[in-house]
Amino acid sequence: MRLRGVRRSSNVEDRRRSGGRVAMGGGLGGIALLLVLAIGYFAGVDVTPLLNNGAVQTSSEPRELTPQEQLAGEFAAQVLGTTEEVWSQILPEQAGREYRPPVLVLFSGQTASPCGGASGATGPFYCPLDQQAYLDTEFFATLEQQLGAEGDFAAAYVIAHEVAHHVQNLLGILPQVEEIRQQATETQANALTVRLELQADCLSGVWATHVDGILEPGDVEEALNAARMIGDDLLQKRAGRVPQPHTFTHGTSAQRSGWFARGYEAGNIAACDTFSGDI
C-alpha cells in the first residue's frame, strides 16, 4: 500500500499507553495455542483465562509506546481514513444513507467496551452498542506470523472488515440479524452469523475497489489470502480437528475469499446480499 501522504483519521482513541498488558500463552503450545488464538481473534470471545490457566496477568502502569506500536497506530489511522473517504461517498450514492464513521479504539492487552471486556485474545471486533471498533495492534504480528496472512493490505483488510460491520449497523442489518438470532437454535444462529461475516467480507471488497491511488501490485492477493487463512474450515483443520460446518461462524476459506472478490469486482453494495440464496 502507498500510504505516504494519506490522511490520518481523527476518529481514533489510543488507550495503549494506559497499560493493561496481558501475558498470554502459559501452559499451551503448538496446535492448542493456535486454536485458542483463532477462536478469540475471529469469534470475538475472550479466551484469556484459557491462555493463562485462569490467571490474567495485567499491569496498569502508564508506559511509552514502542516504535513498532507507533507505526502500527499510524497505519491504522491512515487505513481508517481511507474507509471514511470511501464510505462517505458510496453509502449515500448506493444506499441513500449518510455515513457516520466509527471510532477505532486501539488498545494493548485489555480494555473495556459496552459489549464486554476486550483483551489481546479477543482480537479485532465491532461493538454496535457504542459504534466503535476495537483493535489490539499486536494482532498484526499474529496475523502474519501465526496465521500466514502477510502484507500490509492483509492488515488493512482486517480494519476494513470491522468498519464493514459498522456499515451493516448503519444499514440496519446488524440489529435485524441479532433479533432473529435471539429466537433461533444455535446451529441457525451460527448460520446467520456466517452470512453476516461474509457480507462484511464483501463490503471490504467494495471498499478495496474504491480506494484511489494507494494499491500496489499484489495488494488484493494479500487480502484474498488473509480471507482464506481465517476460514473456519482451515482454522479447524490447523487445530487437528475435522471441520464441523454447523459450528462455523465466519464461513469457509473459499467463501470468505470468494465474497471479498465479489465485492471487489462489483464495487457495489447491492452485490453483497449474502442473505438471499446460497452462499
Instruction: Give residue 121's pLDDT.
Output: 64
Q: What is the pLDDT of residue 37?
A: 45
Selection from 160, 100, 109, 157 nearest residue 131 by Cα: 100
Nearest to 123 by CA among 153, 99, 146: 146
**pLDDT confidence of residue 20:** 52
pLDDT at 120: 65
Residue pointed to by grid coordinates 471486556: 117
* pLDDT reported for residue 169: 97
Q: pLDDT under 70 in the chain at which residues?
A: 19-61, 120-122
Structure confidence at residue 147 (pLDDT): 82
E strands of 73-182, at which residues? 103-107, 110-113, 116-119, 125-127, 132-136
Cα 72 to Cα 172: distance, rounded to the nearest angstrom:
31
Nearest to 209 by CA among 101, 82, 88: 82
- Determine phi and psi for 248, rounding to 5 degrees: -65, 140
How much is the pLDDT for 45? 40
Question: Which residues, 6 or more positions from 28, have their beta carbon under 8 angstroms from its beta carbon?
Answer: 36, 50, 51
Of 265, 167, 279, nearest to 231 by C-alpha is 279
The cell numbers describing 101, all together, are 464513521
Query: pLDDT tens digits for 98-149?
Result: 999 999 999 988 888 898 887 766 678 999 999 999 999 888 888 888 888 8
